[in-house]
Structure 1
Amino acid sequence: MDIQEVICQIANIDDTVAFYEAMGFKVSKQAASASVEIGTSKLTFINGPDAYTYHIAFNIPRNAFPDAKEWLQQFVELIAEDGEDEVYFERIDAYSVYFYDPAGNIMELIARRQEVEDAEYETFSSDTILAIGEVGFVMPHIEQALHVMEDFHIPVRAGSTPSTTMITFYGENGCYIITAPAGRKWLFSSLVATPSPITIHTSYGTIMYPTNLAKNHRET
Structure 2
Amino acid sequence: MQISKVKLYAHDIHKMKEFYCGTLGFTLLAEAEHFFEMAAGESVIRFECIDSSVEKQYHFAFNIPSNLFQQAKNWVQKRVEILSLEERDEIYFKTLDAYSCYFYDPEDNVVEFIARQRINPKVNTDIFSIDHILNIGEMNLTTHAILSVADCLKDYNITPLKDEEIRIDALTFMGNEEDGVHILIGPSERIWYFSTKKAIVSPIVIEVNQQLQLCIQVNGEFAISQQ
Q: TM-score range by the shorter chain?
A: over 0.9
Mapped partners of 1:154, 1:182: distance in 2: 21
Q: Which moved more, 1:17-26 or 1:129-138?
A: 17-26
Contact 1:137–1:145, Cα closer than 8 Å, also in 2: no
Aligned to 2:9: 9
Q: Does 1:126 align with 2:127?
A: no
| Cα deviation, residue 122, structure 1 | 5.8
Distance 1:190 1:216 in 2: 36
Equivalent pair of 1:138/1:179 in contact (CA under 8 Å)? yes
Q: Distance in 1 between matches of 2:199 and 2:146?
A: 11
Measure the CA separation in 1 of the matches of 2:87 and 2:99: 16
- Give the whole-Å Cα distance in 2 for the aligned partners of 1:99 and 1:206: 27
TM-score, structure 2 normalization: 0.90
Which of 167, 177, 189 pairs up with 2:171? Answer: 167
User: Hey, what does 2:213 align to over in structure 1?
Assistant: 206
Structure 1 residue 100 corresponds to structure 2 residue 104: yes
Letter in 2 for 1:32: H
| Counterpart for residue 25 of structure 2 | 24
Gap runs ≥5 in structure 1: none
Query: What is the aligned residue count?
Result: 217
CA contact (8 A) 2:71 2:126 kept: no
2:200 matches 1:194 = yes
* 8 A contact 1:138–1:145 mirrored in 2: no
**Deviation at residue 101 of structure 1 after TM alignment:** 0.3
Which ranges of structure 2 fall in alignment gaps of 5 or more residues?
Answer: none
Could you tell me how far apart the structure 2 residues matched to 1:214 and 1:206 are? 6
Instruction: Give, in whole Å, the separation in 2 of the partners of 1:79 and 1:119.
Output: 26
Q: Percent identity of the aligned residues? A: 32
Residue 51 (structure 1) shift: 4.6
CA deviation string 1:49-78 (max 9, x = no partner)? 135210000000100101100111111000
Q: Secondary structure at the residue paired with 2:192?
A: coil
Q: Please identify, of 108-117 and 136-145, the stretch whose mean Cα deviation from structure 2 is larger.
A: 136-145
User: What amino acid sits opposite 1:161 in the alignment?
Assistant: E
Query: What amino acid is the match of 2:19?
Result: F
Matches within 5 A, 1:37-116: 37-49=39-51, 50-116=54-120
| Matching residue of 2:187 | 181
Secondary structure in 2 matching 1:108? strand
- Higher mean C-alpha displacement, 21-30 vs 205-214: 205-214
Change (3 A) 1:164 1:13: same
Tell me the distance in 2 between the aligned counterparts of 1:89 and 1:121.
24
Q: 2:145 aligns with which of 121, 141, 153?
A: 141
Matched-pair contact (CA < 8 Å) for 1:167–1:181: yes
The answer to whether the 8 A contact 2:149-2:222 is kept is no
Give the whole-Å Cα distance in 1 for the aligned partners of 2:163 and 2:13: 39
Using the TM superposition, name which of 114-123 and 40-49 deviates more.
114-123
Contact 2:58 2:202 in 1 (8 A): yes
Change (3 A) 1:51 1:162: closer
TM-score (norm: length of structure 1): 0.93
Q: What is the rounded CA distance, in whole Å, between the counterparts of 2:152 and 2:106 in structure 1? A: 30
SS of 2:162's equivalent in the other structure is: coil
Distance, in Å, in 2 between the alignment partners of 1:12 and 1:180 is: 26
- CA drift of 1:121 comes to 3.6
Q: CA RMSD in A?
A: 1.6
User: What is the distance in 1 between the residues matched to 2:16 and 2:135?
Assistant: 19
* Cross-structure match for 1:152: 156
